[in-house]
């Protein structure tokens, strides 16, 4: 396997882990709330995902930078993808820093926006490589 293929595989692994984790949390958290789960359980799940999610995001960003130098991607699409990833990182960081002071409804809305932006990033990535 060539180096660029390894980078591409790692990039997809990071992006899929990040976005897949968000999808799982989006389905799991409301179900746990309805089941009467204590807030500490939800916080523990969020903290564990945070460790895995940020590692996956870092992997996706680092390999994405590597791949940007390896492939000719149209600048417009590249700009969209970089902008979306930047927005996801900033919004997620702000969300984590303020989550303890916001309502469950606001936290859910912000998480939904982060998920939608992550899915949109996948769409832009597919368009840029086809």
Q: What is the DSSP letter of 2?
A: -
Does the structure show a pLDDT above 80 at 107? yes
Please report the pLDDT score of residue 76 as a whole number: 75
Please report the pLDDT score of residue 129 as a whole number: 67
Q: DSSP states of 7-46 as a string?
A: HHHHHHHHHHHHHHHHHHHHHHHHHHHHTT--HHHHHHHH
Q: Percentage of the chain surpassing pLDDT 90? A: 64
pTM score over 0.85: yes
Please report the pLDDT score of residue 97 as a whole number: 93
Please report the pLDDT score of residue 48 as a whole number: 93
Q: Where are the domains of the chain?
A: 3-128
Please report the pLDDT score of residue 104 as a whole number: 85
- pLDDT per residue over 69-85, tens digit each? 877 777 777 888 889 99
């Amino acid at each position: 396997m060539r180096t660029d293929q390894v980078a591409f595989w790692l990039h997809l692994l990071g992006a899929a882990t990040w976005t897949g984790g968000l999808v799982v949390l989006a389905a799991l958290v409301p179900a746990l709330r309805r089941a009467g789960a204590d807030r500490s359980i939800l916080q523990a799940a969020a903290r564990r995902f945070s460790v895995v999610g940020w590692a996956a995001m870092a992997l996706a960003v680092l390999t994405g930078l590597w791949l940007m130098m390896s492939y000719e991607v149209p600048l417009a699409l590249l700009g969209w993808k970089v902008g979306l990833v930047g927005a996801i990182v900033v919004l997620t960081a702000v969300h984590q820093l303020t989550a303890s002071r916001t309502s469950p409804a606001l936290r859910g809305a912000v998480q939904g926006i982060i998920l939608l932006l992550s899915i949109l990033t996948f769409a832009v990535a597919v368009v840029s490589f086809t």
